[in-house]
Amino acid sequence: MSVMSGSEVRAESKSGGQLPDQPPVLPPVEPPSARFIVQLFVVPALIVLAIVGVWLLFGKLTAQQEDWQTVVSRLQSTNPDVRWRAAMSLAQLLASESEETTATSGVQRRRLADNPQAAAALARLTRERLDSVATTANVAEDQLQQIVFLTRALAMFSTTEITLPVLSAAIEPGRPELVRQSGLAAVAILLDRSHRRGVPVADEKLVELVLTASEDSSRAVRQLAAFVLGLLEGEKPRQRLLEMLHAGDRLVRLNAACALARNGSAEGFAELRNVLNEELREAGRGREGRRLTEEQYAQQIAVGNAFQAIQDLASRFSEDQRKELEEILSRLAREHPDVYFQMQARKTLGALRRTAAER
């Protein structure tokens, strides 16, 4: 048997001859497709990133849990500076949780904002600071600001049975005006949250304190009291709101009208109409590009509250009242220089017209 040399093999190949027992020709080599690269590299990388992300998330939650437990323990310190810094840290944790919207953050919020231990620790510190400024004499500004901060932080807890007694103490007669304002604002946040959850708060002592605040010499305290009265159950708050519809202060009257609207009463119709007419006149004078005064800023908030009140009462107005409001709202939707106010006027107008069509 003869053996072919390498040169003979090459010559035979070039001549087109077939080599004995030659394997089939290999398929052509092609570069990998983009899909293949994604499957080979990118998909595994995403899986790894997801695993790392979950690991980091649980690590963060564990760290946050340790943080609030540490903060609560510091609230028990005998050092007032340590307690104050701990209160600030706790408020920051609560605020950061309230801004998150993921399902995991909801679990974390229940662990902290619904935590009675954390609420009780902050309540004790708030009570201590309130007792230190029981009267208006010689109260330093930084002391007042600390109480404002603490009451607002305390309102973020949902443990009403722990927080409400302390917040009620903040609005007692004789407290500094800024403390009473802050206390009323915090009570409003707490009551509004309970109201939205369908669990109204019944507290006779709180009712009496807010009724007293509604007759305070401070305009700001009376305005806040009118708002809070609309969140309280019972005939006494309602009767006081009806009286406040005739108060000398315009914003007190409007707050009373909006508070009544929150409870399904259209008895504040005249004030709702008046604030819309005032806005129409103000828009006609033109304020675009000008810096708002404090009164004008308050007017804008008042108009927003009036829009909401009218939407809530759309089915409660008489035919004449509805037509009167529709005329004003139509003009605001056409003539107001602010696009946002135009949109809100159209939305409110739509609510009235839908109700009329359903009758």
**Which pLDDT belongs to residue 135?**
60
Q: Establish if 307 belongs to a structural domain.
A: yes
**Which pLDDT belongs to residue 102?**
41
Question: Is there a contact between 259 and 218 (Cβ–Cβ < 8 Å)?
Answer: no
Amino acid residing at 334: R
Q: Establish if 315 belongs to a structural domain.
A: yes
Q: 223-234: buried (b, 16+ CB within 10 Å) or exposed (e) per residue?
A: bbbbbbbbbbee
Q: Establish if 318 belongs to a structural domain.
A: yes
- Distance from C-alpha of 334 to C-alpha of 341, rounded to nearest angstrom: 10
Which residue stretches of the chain have pLDDT < 50? 1-19, 26, 29, 36-43, 47-48, 50-66, 101-109
Q: Establish if 56 belongs to a structural domain.
A: no
Is the backbone of residue 158 left (phi > 0), alpha (psi -120 to 50) or beta? alpha
**Which pLDDT belongs to residue 41?**
47
How many other C-beta atoms lie within 10 A of the C-beta of residue 182?
25
Q: Which residue range forms the structural domain that includes residue 270?
A: 246-359
The secondary structure of 160-206 as a DSSP string is: HHHHHHHHHHHTSTTS-HHHHHHHHHHHHHHHHHHHHTT-----HHH
Tell me the two tokens of residue 285. Answer: 């004078």
Write down the residue that tokens 């927003």 correspond to: 304
How many other C-beta atoms lie within 10 A of the C-beta of residue 185?
21
- Distance from C-alpha of 72 to C-alpha of 117, rounded to nearest angstrom: 8
- Distance from C-alpha of 10 to C-alpha of 17, rounded to nearest angstrom: 10
What is the tens place of the pLDDT at every residue in 40-74?
Answer: 444 455 544 544 444 444 334 344 444 667 777 77
**Which pLDDT belongs to residue 137?**
60
Q: Establish if 324 belongs to a structural domain.
A: yes
Q: Establish if 9 belongs to a structural domain.
A: no
Number of independent structural domains in the chain? 1
110 Cβ contact partners less than 8 Å away, ≥ 6 residues apart: none
Q: Establish if 71 belongs to a structural domain.
A: no
- Helix/strand/coil (H/E/C) assignment for every residue in 69-95: HHHHHHHCCCCHHHHHHHHHHHHHHHH
Q: Establish if 37 belongs to a structural domain.
A: no
Tell me the two tokens of residue 16. Answer: 């087109």
In terms of pTM, does the model score above 0.85? Answer: no
